[in-house]
Amino acid sequence: MASKTPATRSTSKKKAAGTGATKKGGTAASSTEPRGQGDELQQQAGGERPRLTTNQGLVIADNQNSLKSTPSGPTLLEDFILREKITHFDHERIPERIVHARGSGAHGYFELKKSLARYTRAKLFTEVGKRTPVFTRFSTVAGGAGSVDTPRDVRGFAVKFYTGEGNFDLVGNNIPVFFIQDAMKFPDVVHSVKMEPDRAFPQAASAHDTFWDFITLTPESMHMIMWAMSDRTIPRSLRTIEGFGVHSFRLLDEAGASTFVKFHWRPKLGLQSTVWDEALKLQAADNDFHRRDLFEAIQAGDFPEWEFGVQLFTEAEAEAFPFDHLDPTKIIPEALVPVQIVGRMVLDRWPDNFFAETEQVAFCPANIVPGIDFSNDPLLQGRLLSYLDTQLIRLGGPNFNQIPVNQPKCPFANHQRDGHMQMQVHKGRVNYEPSSLQADSPRADAQAGFRSHATMPDDGAKGRVRPESFADHYSQARMFFRNLEAAEQAHLASSLVFELSKVETPRVRERMVGHLLHIDESLAQRVADGLGLDTLPPAPPAAVPPQDMPPAPEVRIIGRMRETLEGRCVGILIDEGSDAAALKALRKAAEAAGATVKIVAPKLGGAVLSDGKKQPADGQLAGTPSVVFDAVAILLGEAAGKKLAKESAAVDFVAFAWAHLKAIAHDAGAAPLLKAGNVGKDAGIVDAADARGFIAAAKTRQWGREPKLRTLA
């Protein structure tokens, strides 16, 4: 039988204090706390510390030692406390999502600014000023749950609106199109991009044979490939990505009349991406770069915000588009249908518990509310099945809707019963309908309830067919590439060269260049040159010859980025003797411009500045490379500048800031370090005394610097 009090021995300090009680509210182990016979710490309940119990509520007397045949015999099977603890631990992991396994989420609200009552009866979109709670999860697609935040990958952008009429999930991505046109192909595209099945690599990367083999045999993916190889897939922050519902949905008014809608999210901070070399180095510098960035912004009260927009169009307008809007590989250019901003989303609360909320949240495109309906997009139709099906196994049974993060915040009641992990205690005899035995048994409501749009009757035939109207695979891919700024085009061409250079099978590489000939001949030539191909491979047959489309500047990032330091981070490298006044002035200017400032020094304890005062550091130089900042300042005394010029972490700090097109402010003492890092001169290299000039340069990247630094395709 467990003894009433732990078998403790008192330390001499405890004896002196005369008590084993902990300090009120204290969490650190104190030398006054009791210890066991083997000197193990035996922290005790009391004061603000509640008692530790088993899951049955039994108070535990000793959380350090299993029950043994004393003093040193085997552990006894009888130890139900040990068995409960270990068994629970053994089952702590649940299957990760088959896609989008790596993600970060936050709570917040959606606020409607402009009523859509003309188009929909969904109260979410008709009650101006109303705040609807949301939970939003961002994710990468290909990598496992433990993979890094910054591979080249599409980002998921899933929002659960807890409306008064039920949950509405807008399960989108940061790219407005998708790789495939029919749900039948989803397992294939996902298998091809995930780790190859025989070797289990590469993790979280599309740069390998199976992906490009599939893609080059699937021309419908060409438009998405243009987006995927662009800077959109290497975002600076989750706070600087757009979101798209991708498919056309329907809005239904009170009378059931339908208007098609595409949903858009636009980041308040503007779009911002990294450069590829920076993204690669971030994978080493901080696995959790995006998660940490979101967490820190929310903790600091710098709440991430997006505008919410809609593109609305009628069936007749859709008929006139030069493409089929039900094809999820097509966007509706804004020249055809402008985006109207009707609301905003603010994320203002980090989850209390990652597993309970971010991991267990279950989004599903089938979760909609009265006034919204699906379109016949064949990819969307497949998604309506897939999410519930996968969540049944991922979350262990049919009652995952009762997990707090998934529960509607409006009343819900039906006759579904029992099943694994049933949390509700249903009362009464009636679990069926029609029924007459229980007055408060729930019933359908023909007026308030969800009604599907009455679609046109089809011709009665059935078949596994792809609409002919889906056959143009190249026109919008061309539109995307040709609307990019020159620097973005060079990045896209270079990322194709990077990815295809990892493909071992020559015919796969060549097939891709063949497709590029339909998109843009100069792009095909650049990629062929980058791969070292002597001749251009033939273009595959195109079912529909590509058409030139009107300008669509909305696809680009450069030019649509906000020149701002808001939400960004400036790193200041200091060492012994750094100029205190310059540090103060730069910090003040950066913070006034909305940036966070972090001090980096060779030692975390910091350095004594020119004014004789010690300045603590936020990051140690060797573990805080410049890739984690948007702009840097180097403030060094003469001796420190010479010393750090021989320190590789410091040399990399300036060299990478230069290579990643960032602004660098520096003083005279930093000159030897900049020289060692081969930092050149341009508008982004600013005298540290010129705080205003530094802030102006730090608000953007120095795109003009790039051709001097690296050979882009």
Residues that bind ligand HEM (CB under 6 A): 97-100, 103, 137, 139, 156, 158, 171-173, 178, 183, 186, 246, 361-363, 379, 382-383, 386-387, 390-391, 394
Specify the length of the chain in residues: 713
Q: State the minimum distance, in angstroms, from the CB of residue 402 to ligand HEM.
A: 16
Q: Between residues 178 and 629, which has the closer beta carbon with respect to ligand HEM?
A: 178
Residue 111 structure tokens: 């606020």
Q: Between residues 103 and 309, which has the closer beta carbon with respect to ligand HEM?
A: 103
Q: Is 518 in the active site?
A: no
Q: State the minimum distance, in angstroms, from the CB of residue 143 to ligand HEM.
A: 13
CA 431 to chain centre: 41
Contacts 24+ apart (CB under 8 A), 449-453: 449/370, 450/166, 450/368, 450/369, 450/370, 451/252, 451/256, 451/370, 452/373, 453/250, 453/252, 453/256, 453/258, 453/373
Q: Between residues 96 and 209, which has the closer beta carbon with respect to ligand HEM?
A: 96
Strand partners, 111: 131, 344
Using an 8 Å Cβ cutoff, are 43 and 67 in contact? no
DSSP string computed for 526-586: HHHHHHT-SSPPPPPP-SS--------GGG-STTTS----TT-EEEEE--TT--HHHHHHH
Query: How many beta carbons lie within 10 A of that of residue 488, not counting itself?
Result: 21
| CA gap 649, 600 in Å, rounded | 11
Q: Between residues 394 and 556, which has the closer beta carbon with respect to ligand HEM?
A: 394
| CA gap 284, 131 in Å, rounded | 40
Q: Between residues 106 and 635, which has the closer beta carbon with respect to ligand HEM?
A: 106
DSSP code for 322: S
Catalytic residue among 65, 107, 167, 173: 173
Secondary structure element (H or E) that encloses residue 310, with its range = strand 305-313
CA 435 to chain centre: 47
Q: Between residues 28 and 465, which has the closer beta carbon with respect to ligand HEM?
A: 465
Q: State the minimum distance, in angstroms, from the CB of residue 418 to ligand HEM.
A: 23
Q: Is 173 in the active site?
A: yes
| CA gap 512, 532 in Å, rounded | 14
Catalytic residue among 65, 100, 325, 473: 100
Using an 8 Å Cβ cutoff, are 139 and 102 in contact? yes
Q: Between residues 379 and 627, which has the closer beta carbon with respect to ligand HEM?
A: 379
Q: State the minimum distance, in angstroms, from the CB of residue 570 to ligand HEM.
A: 31
DSSP string computed for 427-478: -SS--SSS--S-TT-----TTTS-----PPP--S-------GGG---SHHHH
Q: Which residue is nearest to ligand HEM (CB)?
A: 156
Q: State the minimum distance, in angstroms, from the CB of residue 174 to ligand HEM.
A: 9
Q: State the minimum distance, in angstroms, from the CB of residue 355 to ligand HEM.
A: 13
| CA gap 142, 123 in Å, rounded | 36
Q: Between residues 375 and 626, which has the closer beta carbon with respect to ligand HEM?
A: 375
Query: How many beta carbons lie within 10 A of that of residue 182, not counting itself?
Result: 19
Q: State the minimum distance, in angstroms, from the CB of residue 251 to ligand HEM.
A: 18
Nearest to 273 by CA among 42, 578, 546, 487: 487
Q: State the minimum distance, in angstroms, from the CB of residue 317 to ligand HEM.
A: 22
Residues annotated as part of the active site = 100, 173
